[in-house]
Amino acid sequence: MTDRRVVVITGGSAGAGRAAARAFAHKGAHVALLARGEERLAQAQREVEGAGVRCLAIPADVADAAAVEEAATRIEETLGPIDVWVNSAMTSVFSPVHELQADEVRRVIEVTYLGSVNGILAALRRMRTRDRGTIVQVGSALAYRAIPLQASYCASKFAIRGFVDSLRCELRHDRSGIRVTSVHMPALNTPQFGWVRSRLPFHPQPVPPIYQPEVAARAIVWAADHPRREYWVGYPTVGAIGANLFVPGLLDRYLARTNFEAQQTDQPVSPDRLDNLDKPVPGAHGAHGIFDAKAKPRSIQSQLSMHRRLAAGTVSGVALAAMAARRRREAAG
């Protein structure tokens, strides 16, 4: 089946955004990519066009509302009406709170929170006139459960979750045809851990278990096709959100004991390490980071979440078969 929708992906030059761009392209969608790094944008554009679809790559900082609005206008003039808008752009700082600088916190919030707000507003201005469209907000388990060393990122993810919840209520009040769905991710093997600003003594890493960005991409594409309120991707996401709901104090103690070490490898940080907080890091980074050997290529939980009816039917079938087998044993005995 050919999909000729127009899909916009912020943060589409690397990580989960780039993997999602490829996934949408292979379904036949035309794709627009917004990101700061022109070299990686050009590479991502070639990948998308290799699937036989059109791609528009626009260098833009999502923290700049005017730039996002201008990009949205250009996308519709070039590719056509926007059907799906995916907010995936983010940045972070790995640091204890007492060592954070105010300008660093502000920058993380501008990109990770306000960047998503800017994308949502640009999408709504166009989708409301047509009363259709889907906004996919890429979230995180950290939108529900904060962890040490990433306070500014966690705060941004908490904030956009609140913003999106308010928007859902308003769209429902208006009986709008626009759909909003959030996809909350586990730890992903993306390049961000190689370029994130860090004050840690050792190289940053995602908290294991780690998943490949294609796991995120499949969930994003599925959510765009089957928008529901939220998707939780991976058992760690489900576990973190559930534990925070029922035993937040116990989880505080657990994270305090384990997550300083869990967010670092045993490799010292290079003294000439560059970071992308204020400007892109040069280089041909793609969807994957450096943790391929540790990363899981699929998530059974995610598949079950996406196919809930099939999963429920399978569980029911197994239960009925077990009951029938038990009755046969009882009858024979």
Please check whether residue 94 is in contact with residue 263, taking contact to mean a CB–CB distance below 8 angstroms: yes
Produce one character per residue of 201-215: b if its CB has 16 or more CB atoms within 10 Å, e if not.
eebbbbbeebbbbbb
Torsion angle of alpha carbons 201, 206, 210, 213, nearest 10°?
Answer: -130
Widest Cα–Cα separation across the chain? 77
Token pair belonging to 67 = 């730039």
Give CA–CA dist 139/47, Å, rounded: 25
**Catalytic choice (144, 153, 211, 231):** 153
323 phi and psi, to 5 degrees?
Answer: -65, -40
Do residues 163 and 87 make contact, with C-beta atoms less than 8 angstroms apart? no
Contact 233, 305 (CB under 8 A): yes
User: Any catalytic annotation for residue 153?
Assistant: yes
Q: How far apart are CA 283 and CA 40, in angstroms?
A: 8
Rounded-to-integer distance, Cα 224 and Cα 24, Å: 10
Q: Residue 321 CB: number of other CB atoms within 10 A? A: 10
Please count the residues of the chain: 333
What sign does the CA torsion over 81, 134, 88, 90 have? positive
Active site residues: 153
